[in-house]
């Protein structure tokens, strides 16, 4: 009798629960957590501030694996698991089975749509496991739509998952078009073809100057510093930037990606998708994934302390306000749910840190490779025992090792001892350690969570804090250090509580939380937990 009553109450709760009509997953590429408090006073009332004041914020949110790159980041957010299980171990990685470097969403068997470029053959086929968007498609008997949008192909494809209706990304260069592949259907929808025919990128080839008077940008460094790359064809990395004049020397329409107007391009296309795909217009929950990538391009180019990065975030704030207003009008207030996070953070430019007496270094990858080969030659009297060094991993040539009668374990041990003594290398892990042990150190766990037994290498090394392999100008990312792992996490809208938490949360917790909100099955490789504090009731 008690069981019957409980079942009746539970059934009643499910019956009366109204799901959001649309879930929007927003990823801001290379957004450090501290950008929110740092630029807060300059934000408008309707963008970031609206999400913060009307939703739930997790202030201690981290990635729990390395490398902290765009491809693994987007895959982990939407699958609810780490590269150890979903298989996207980097943006590009060495395929040891075919002796070639592969890209995380490249697919030779599909054809591009909206362009003749062979470089746009893309699909999610390398992604192991499902996303929460896939779970929603299954739960709604494929009546709920999924659309993925980003300037970057990987930022559109990986979040949308395997069963997505569409994924769209921006083809710059000489075209300036929104493109896709026939993985999602034989041709582009008519509305996209019509949109492209109007040359949608042209209005964004304009002069980039600061949104506010530049003297108000007190939260960032000087406008002209030696830590910024800038654009080819302009002597100094200083405002203003005439994008139309500079496009010829900066890969054509790709220059828009490296400005805040790339985010505007994404917002405008996303709004077109909301209307033309009729997202959120019935009782079957739809999913829209949006990845804002221009923040990453600007960060790499100008650094995290630049005036350009501050201006990009102030302008992104207005894009969010614009998007929210459309959602209010088209879908309805309290009829949609948003989460906003990032795929990784970024480091302060090491040279900037060094100039302010803070330890920071540049790691010479070319010299490191030469030193490894010299060591192996002296120790084992043979060259070529390591076939590839990339993504801070060493891949062995097992055929050669076997032919010489050597032991891979002995080589691993020797390399670990040698590499551990090299300047600016903090940790070294062997394949044996990563496959046989549950590592207890913080960084060890992050390396292990990013290690895929089939795809990954044989030796992993981690550099000391603020040590990078990158030019001396601009910022980068990829490490297990907090500046790369600590990112924002905001929930807002239907079913979301209002509040703040300082508990440590992980990237893999987002997808399970969305699935709990929708009362659907979690992605099939999910390893995170539900962040119940963010959910009402």
Residues present in the chain in total: 537
The answer to whether the beta carbons of residues 45 and 476 sit under 8 Å apart is no
Report the predicted TM-score, pTM, of the whole model to 2 decimal places: 0.96
Tokens of 57: 């914020």
The side-by-side arrangement of strands in the sheet containing 393-396 is: 386-390, 393-396, 459-463, 425-430
Q: Which CATH number fits domain 19-353+479-534: 3.40.720.10, 3.40.50.970, 3.30.420.10, 1.10.1040.10?
A: 3.40.720.10
Per residue in 54-112, pLDDT (tens digit) is 999 999 999 999 999 999 999 999 999 999 999 999 999 999 999 999 999 999 999 99
Going from N- to C-terminal start, the domains of the chain cover 19-353+479-534, 364-423+425-463
The rounded distance, in Å, linking the Cα atoms of 499 and 492 is: 10
Average pLDDT over residues 273-298: 98
Q: Is there a contact between 224 and 235 (Cβ–Cβ < 8 Å)?
A: no
pLDDT tens digits for range 169-217: 999 999 999 999 999 999 999 999 999 999 999 999 999 999 999 999 9
Averaged pLDDT for residues 528-534 = 98
> For 342-371, how does the pLDDT look when each residue is reduced to its tens digit (9 = 90+)?
999 999 999 999 999 999 999 999 999 999
Give the residue with greater pLDDT, 439 vs 478: 478
Give the C-alpha distances (Å, rounded to integers) separating 349 from 35, 303, 352.
Answer: 16, 6, 5
Fold of 364-423+425-463: Gyrase A; domain 2 (3.30.1360)
CB 36 within 8 A of CB 313: no
Q: Do domains 19-353+479-534 and 364-423+425-463 have the same CATH topology?
A: no
Instruction: Look up residue 457 and give its DSSP letter.
Output: -
70 noted as active-site residue = yes
For residue 240, say if its preceding peptide bond is cis, omega within 30 degrees of 0.
yes
- Burial of 246-269, coded b for 16+ CB within 10 Å and e otherwise, reads bbeebebbbbbbbbbbbbbbbbbb
Measure CA 472 to chain center. 23
Please tell me the distance from the alpha carbon of residue 499 to that of residue 491, in angstroms, as a whole number.
10
Give strand pairing partners of 25.
Answer: 289, 339
Write down the pLDDT at residue 438: 82
Candidates 326, 274, 340; CA nearest to 48 is: 340
pLDDT in tens, 321-342: 999 999 999 999 999 999 999 9
Alpha-carbon gap, residue 222 to 237, rounded angstroms? 11
Q: Which of 15, 68, 70, 467 is catalytic?
A: 70
Tokens 């939703």 -> residue? 55
Mean pLDDT across 412-421: 98
């Amino acid at each position: 009798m008690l069981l019957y009553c409980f079942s009746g109450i539970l059934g009643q709760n499910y019956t009366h629960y109204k799901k959001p009509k649309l879930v929007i997953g927003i990823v801001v590429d290379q957004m450090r957590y501290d950008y929110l408090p740092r630029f807060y006073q300059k934000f408008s009332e309707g963008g970031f501030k609206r999400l913060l004041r009307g939703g739930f914020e997790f202030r201690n949110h981290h990635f729990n694996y390395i490398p902290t790159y765009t491809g693994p980041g987007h895959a982990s957010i939407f699958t609810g698991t780490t590269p150890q299980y979903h298989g996207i171990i980097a943006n590009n990685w060495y395929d040891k089975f075919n002796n070639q470097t592969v890209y995380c969403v490249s697919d030779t068997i599909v054809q591009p749509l909206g362009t003749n470029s062979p470089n746009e053959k893309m699909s999610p086929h390398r992604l192991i496991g499902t996303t929460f968007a896939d779970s929603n498609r299954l739960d709604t008997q494929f009546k709920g739509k999924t659309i993925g949008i980003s300037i970057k192909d990987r930022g559109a494809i990986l979040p949308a998952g395997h069963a997505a209706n569409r994924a769209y990304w921006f083809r710059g260069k000489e075209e300036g078009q929104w493109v896709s592949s026939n993985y999602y259907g034989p041709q582009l929808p008519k509305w996209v073809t019509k949109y492209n025919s109007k040359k949608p990128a042209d209005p964004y080839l304009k002069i980039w100057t600061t949104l506010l008077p530049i003297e108000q940008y007190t939260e960032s460094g000087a406008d002209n510093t030696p830590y910024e790359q800038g654009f080819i064809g302009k002597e100094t990395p200083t405002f203003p930037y005439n994008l139309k004049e500079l496009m010829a020397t900066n890969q054509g329409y790709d220059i828009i990606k490296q400005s805040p107007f790339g985010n505007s391009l994404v917002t405008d296309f996303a709004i077109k998708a909301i209307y033309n795909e009729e997202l959120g217009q019935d009782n079957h929950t739809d999913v829209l994934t949006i990845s804002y990538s221009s923040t990453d391009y600007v960060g790499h180019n100008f650094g995290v302390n630049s005036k350009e990065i501050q201006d990009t975030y102030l302008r992104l704030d207005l894009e969010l306000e614009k998007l929210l207003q459309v959602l209010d009008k088209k879908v309805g207030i309290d009829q949609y749910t948003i989460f906003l996070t990032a795929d990784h953070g970024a480091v302060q430019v090491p040279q900037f840190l060094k100039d302010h007496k803070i330890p920071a270094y540049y790691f010479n990858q070319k010299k490191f490779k030469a030193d490894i080969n010299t060591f192996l030659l002296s120790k084992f009297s043979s060259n070529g025992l390591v076939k590839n060094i990339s993504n801070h991993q060493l891949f062995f040539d097992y055929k050669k090792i076997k032919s010489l009668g050597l032991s891979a374990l002995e080589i691993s041990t020797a390399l670990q001892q040698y590499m551990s003594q090299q300047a600016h290398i903090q940790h070294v892990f062997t394949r044996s350690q990563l496959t046989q042990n549950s590592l207890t150190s913080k960084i060890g766990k992050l390396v292990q969570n990013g290690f895929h037994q089939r795809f990954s290498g044989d030796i992993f090394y981690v550099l000391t804090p603020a040590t990078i392999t990158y030019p001396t100008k601009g910022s980068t990312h990829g490490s297990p250090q907090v500046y790369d792992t600590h990112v924002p996490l905001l929930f807002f809208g239907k079913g979301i509580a209002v509040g703040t938490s300082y508990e440590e949360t992980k990237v893999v917790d987002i997808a399970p939380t969305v699935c709990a909100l929708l009362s659907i099955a979690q992605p099939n490789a999910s390893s995170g937990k539900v962040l119940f504090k963010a959910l009402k009731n």
